[in-house]
Amino acid sequence: MPELPEVETTARGLRERIVGLRVRDVRGVDWPRMLPNTSEAELRHALVGRCVLDVDRRGKYVLLRFEDETTVAIHRKMSGNLLLRRAGAAPEVHTHLEVELLDGTLLRFVDPRKFGRVYLFRSSGELATFVAERLGPEPLDLLDGQVLLDRLRGRRGRIKTLLLDQAFLAGIGNLYADEALWEAGIHPLRSADSLTPADVQRLAAAIQGVLRLGIERRGTSFSSYLDAEGTPGGNQDFLHVYGRANEPCPRCGTPISRILLGQRSTHVCPSCQPLSRS
């Protein structure tokens, strides 16, 4: 599941390879629903002949910035990968979009589960509106205990639910939420207003810590994540709780439990992350 560190790693990989290249062709859309606000024909018309100016990330979206304020935003959801291939590379299954650049490089959107989405924006205003409607601040920018405390004020929902809310903080998903809460010693079911300022301070530091380490290790390949070159990340070997149900907590040895929050699996050390603060 690509979350902030995986998307950041992909964006960096793409930036190295495709900035400055012009689009020759756009093709291969076999699944119209992945283009909620455009079509293959419109996408081709918007991109062919235009140069890639930069590749950015906002939340879990990769942003391909082209000339004339044209931006393509890609959300990979669970199983999507953005892969660079050399000219003439053999086709691969589950490819739902292929962008050919002038030097022959192919950028493929490969997504077995078909949950991923590709959006086209024709002006920076359109993109800004889209982002403002659904994404909160970037956790790696200016997030300290005070900022997080301010954002939590008045919120009484479960802390993990809030961390997963992209409008609250952008880019955190199930895996890094569990890791950050373990790091901070906070139970995922705690209500936001039960957190002390010290809890919030630790949580802010933990969020930044797990995300930074995730980026340093080029992402977590827990299921299907690959970077732009098709290489898995390295962070899966360093997870403390995610996917480690019944294994000993690395801090205290208590078996990690797996509980459900909403419909999603949540991993917690019942000893390091007590539900009632006593």
Partner DNA sequence: CCACGATCCTGCTAGC
Partner DNA sequence: TGCTAGCAGGATCGTG
Per-residue binding string, DNA, 122-151, x by CB under 7 A, is ------------x-----------------
Instruction: Name the minimum Å distance from CB 20 to DNA.
Output: 29
Which residue number, 88 or 262, has a Cβ lying nearer to DNA?
A: 262
Per-residue binding string, DNA, 76-115, x by CB under 7 A, is -xxx--------------x-----------------xxxx
Instruction: Name the minimum Å distance from CB 187 to DNA.
Output: 13
Q: For residue 116, state whether it binds DNA (rule: CB under 7 A).
A: no
Q: What is the DSSP string of 168-204?
A: TSSS--HHHHHHHHHHHT--TTSBGGG--HHHHHHHH
Rounded Cα gap, residues 19 and 22, in angstroms: 9
The footprint of DNA on residues 22-81 (CB under 7 A) is 33, 59-60, 75, 77-79
Backbone phi, psi, residue 140, to 5°:
-85, -5
Q: For residue 208, state whether it binds DNA (rule: CB under 7 A).
A: no
Which residue number, 76 or 101, has a Cβ lying nearer to DNA?
A: 76
Q: Which of 57, 151, 158, 240 binds DNA (CB under 7 A)?
A: 158
Instruction: Name the minimum Å distance from CB 253 to DNA.
Output: 24
Q: For residue 230, state whether it binds DNA (rule: CB under 7 A).
A: no
Q: For residue 118, state whether it binds DNA (rule: CB under 7 A).
A: no
Q: What is the DSSP string of 73-105?
A: EEE-TTT-EEEEE-TTPPP-TTEEEEEEETTS-
Q: How many residues does the chain have?
A: 278
- How many residues sit in the footprint of DNA (CB under 7 A)? 33
Which window, 13-21, 63-71, 171-179, 204-212, contacts DNA (CB under 7 A)? Answer: 171-179
Which residue number, 25 or 126, has a Cβ lying nearer to DNA?
A: 126
Q: Which of 5, 13, 139, 173 binds DNA (CB under 7 A)?
A: 173
What amino acid positions are annotated as catalytic residues?
A: 2-3, 60, 264
Residues that bind DNA (CB under 7 A): 1, 3, 33, 59-60, 75, 77-79, 94, 112-115, 134, 154-158, 161-162, 164, 166, 173-175, 191-192, 262-265
